[in-house]
Amino acid sequence: MVRDDHLIAQVRELIGGAPDVDERRMFGSLIFMVGGNMACGVRADGLLVRVGKDATEAALAQPHVSPFEMGGGRRPAGWVVVGPGGLATDKEVEAWVERGVAYARTLPVK
């Protein structure tokens, strides 16, 4: 389960005050929902970010980024995990969170 209280606080500070943001526990993560759509989540191994299928390969080309793996070895397209090395600065965290939020906002509100 989630252990990185500092990263949770950073994400909350960036988007937690928006009226359409909700938090839910799933996938062993604390997921931040925007407009009812998953945007990003804090995991024990980093930040889960929804980038969309078309942006998956470009995101995976970034340092410290790996595919998101669900139970049974499934790797849904459109999701990546950014490890601690890719979240070393506030700017890096902000950029990844903004990327997930931007993608979530392209989806219909649920």
Compare 60 and 17 and report the one with higher pLDDT. Answer: 60
Within a domain: 92: yes
Q: What is the mean pLDDT of residues 71-84?
A: 91
Structural domain includes residue 110: no
Query: CA-CA distances (angstroms) from residue 62 to 29, 34, 59, 87?
Result: 22, 24, 5, 12
Count of structural domains within the chain: 1
Is 95 a member of any domain?
yes
Domain that holds residue 25: 5-104
**pLDDT higher than 60, residue 85:** yes
In the predicted model, what is the mean pLDDT of the chain?
94
User: CATH number, domain at 36?
Assistant: 3.90.1150.30
How far, in Å, CA of 81 to CA of 58, rounded? 13
Tell me the pLDDT tens digit for each residue of 15-24: 988 899 999 9
Q: Per the domain annotation, does 63 fall within a domain? A: yes
Task: Report residue 109 as tokens.
Answer: 């509100």
Asked whether residue 83 is domain-assigned, the answer is: yes
Give Cα separations from 44 to 14, 75, 84 (angstroms): 19, 18, 10
Q: Is residue 109 part of a domain?
A: no
The tokens 């906002």 sit on which residue? 105
**Does the pLDDT value for residue 70 go beyond 90?**
no
Q: Which residues contact 89 (CB under 8 A, 6 or more apart)?
A: none
Q: Give 92's pLDDT tier (boundaries 50, 70, 90).
A: very high
Question: pLDDT exceeding 90 applies to what percent of the chain?
Answer: 80
